Amino acid sequence: MRKVSTSVAVILTTLFGLLVLTFVIGRMVPADPVLAILGDTFDQAAYDRVYQQLGLDQPLYVQFFHYVQNILHLDFGQSNVTKNLVVDDLARVFPATLELAILAITIGTLLGVPLGIISAVRRGTWVDHLARVVGLLGHSTPIFWLGTMVILIFYAGLGWIPGGGRIDLYNDGLVEGPTGMLILDAVLAGEWEVFWSALHHILAPALLLGYAAMAYLSRMSRSFMLEQLNQEYILTARAKGLAQPAVVWKHAFRNIRVQLLTVVTLAFCGLLDGAVLIETVFGWPGLGQYLTAALFYADMNAVLGAVLLIGLISILINLLSDVVYRFVDPRTR
């Protein structure tokens, strides 16, 4: 019970800090929300009326109280660009980013973890050196540059990948599923042409994000595995004549599962808030592109709504990982 209350207190404190941070950012950014609503042509009376309607004439603590109250009611205000409620815009664009991040973290985990473990087991060999070079390139190369090169070579040059967007125009609107993730909704609806079109569009940005995640995960997996392979229980297992695969996967790997779960969680959260560049490069209509457009037009309601959503999702993912820890490692129960 004490651990549960501590976790709840940490979550509430983090959420409150996130609310304070976004409120301060919204007040410090040199963009006048009244001008964003009225435009260039207005008189002073109209300016004063909107200024009072937004509550900007009230003390900051009163503004913060109303801000928190609106957030609790899922009221992020109206976007000055789309003229829609921000909560409706977020519900429309977030599934695209979630779909991209899920596929990317799946690719990164399935490739990065085994690569890191093999690199640790074969330390000092050409396999280890190759894995470290691949990881170093993926970790240090700017992802927007990689995305630009992929478009120039495989789209403009070879024509192997489609242009921007999530789906071909003639398939757009054929599937309106419950999740908002086109690949899953197309499978549920049995629309296989839509499925292949959506998969064709998502593959290039997902592979690039997956490569970045793979570089991070392989490096961490190698470090974790090297630490375990130097432990006494591994030396004992080898002295008893256990085969190398049993020593690595049955003994050493079991003791790095919680650490791997932590870094996979961090990588996934990083993909959610780090997909801004790759979504912009590939014209992917997700949360990253929405946030970029909102920043460009100083649409602070949309910016703060997107930042709050990313922060809330990150908190929930970390909370979920804490729950999974208890099933993976009985020592944490």
pLDDT per residue, tens digit, the chain (333 aa), is 565 566 667 777 877 787 787 777 777 766 666 766 666 666 677 777 777 776 777 777 777 887 788 888 888 887 877 888 888 888 888 888 888 989 999 999 999 889 988 888 888 888 888 888 888 887 777 887 888 888 888 877 787 778 777 787 777 777 777 787 888 888 888 888 888 888 888 888 989 888 888 988 888 888 888 888 887 777 777 777 777 777 778 777 888 888 888 888 888 887 876 677 788 888 888 888 888 888 777 777 888 888 888 888 888 887 777 777 677 666 655
CA-CA distance, 280 to 266, in Å (whole number)?
22
Q: Are 174 and 192 in contact (CB under 8 A)?
A: no
How confident is the model at residue 30, as a pLDDT? 66
Q: Are 194 and 167 in contact (CB under 8 A)?
A: yes
How confident is the model at residue 331, as a pLDDT? 61
pLDDT tens for residues 244-253? 777 778 777 8
How confident is the model at residue 67, as a pLDDT? 78
How confident is the model at residue 106, as a pLDDT? 92
The closest alpha carbon to 299, from 35, 15, 23, belongs to: 35
Q: Are 314 and 272 in contact (CB under 8 A)?
A: yes
The closest alpha carbon to 321, from 95, 7, 98, 5, belongs to: 7
Q: Are 165 and 201 in contact (CB under 8 A)?
A: yes
Domains and CATH numbers, the chain: 2-72 (no CATH), 86-332 (1.10.3720.10)
How confident is the model at residue 110, as a pLDDT? 92
pLDDT tens for residues 277-296? 788 888 888 888 888 888 77
CA-CA distance, 313 to 322, in Å (whole number)?
14
